[in-house]
Amino acid sequence: LRDAPTIGSVLGLEAGVPSAVAAGLPKRGADYLSYYAGYADKLEGSVIPIFPENAFDYTRLEPHGVIGVNSTWTGGISAACRKAAPALAVGNTVVIKPMELAPFSVIRFAELALEAGIPPGVVNVVPGDGAAGQALCEHPGIDKISFTGGIETAEKILVAAAKNITPVVLELGGKSGNIVFPDADLAVAGQFSGQVCMGNAGQGCVFPTRLIVHEDVHDQILEK
């Protein structure tokens, strides 16, 4: 939070993120870090009661190892924190490949991680273009891959990951949907839907550009 104004300025300069959105992204990143830090001492293995009683069934907490993170240009440090925080909380290390057009807020995240006492080599940033991303996804030392972006790039990631049968988690442009029922406050629902979906020119998975409206209030919401 101390560096939020500076990081917000960086997001505006490198990605054209509007100042109102840019101001909130570092704070959201801090929220992710705080939230997942709470998991670090609460996740553990457990013995599972099963039938027959003489059988023994258990789980254990075992990190994947090295997580390859392909970060988005729109989210910057927020997207990096959202992916890195849960990975770190359960004992993994991360290698983040930021979007080549907007790498600087993610680089600043790695600098702050070192400043906070994260050991060197736990949070890593590898800037570069598609060749860097391909090298990351093909690397045999990567144990899992996370990617948010477009389908065309996702196809290339899956091909690269297949060489080592590396697990991949993809988020490919999903958009949040607002569901409006007849008993909703239509004035609030209409205003929220009209304003928020235009945030960052609609370029963000949390901006509700889909409206699912009950037919009884369709015309009223459309008017709002």
Whether the CB-CB separation of 58 and 47 falls below 8 Å is answered with yes
Helix (H) or strand (E) holding 95: strand 93-97
Q: In angstroms, what CA-CA distances link 120 with 4, 16, 34, 111, 190? A: 23, 31, 20, 10, 48
Tokens coding 152: 């065309």
Whether the CB-CB separation of 189 and 178 falls below 8 Å is answered with yes
Residue owning tokens 């958009």: 175
Whether the CB-CB separation of 126 and 146 falls below 8 Å is answered with no
Report d(CA 201, CA 196) in Å as an integer: 10
DSSP state letters, 171-212? E-S---EEEE-TTS-HHHHHHHHHHHTTGGGG-STTS--EEE
Neighbouring-strand partners of residue 147: 70, 170
Active site residue 205: yes
Instruction: Provide the 8-state DSSP code for 213.
Output: E
Which of the residues 100, 138, 197, 205 is marked catalytic? 205
Active site residue 115: no
Distance of CA 154 to the CA centre of its chain: 15
Which of the residues 100, 138, 171, 197 is marked catalytic? 171
Q: Which residues are the active-site residues? A: 171, 205
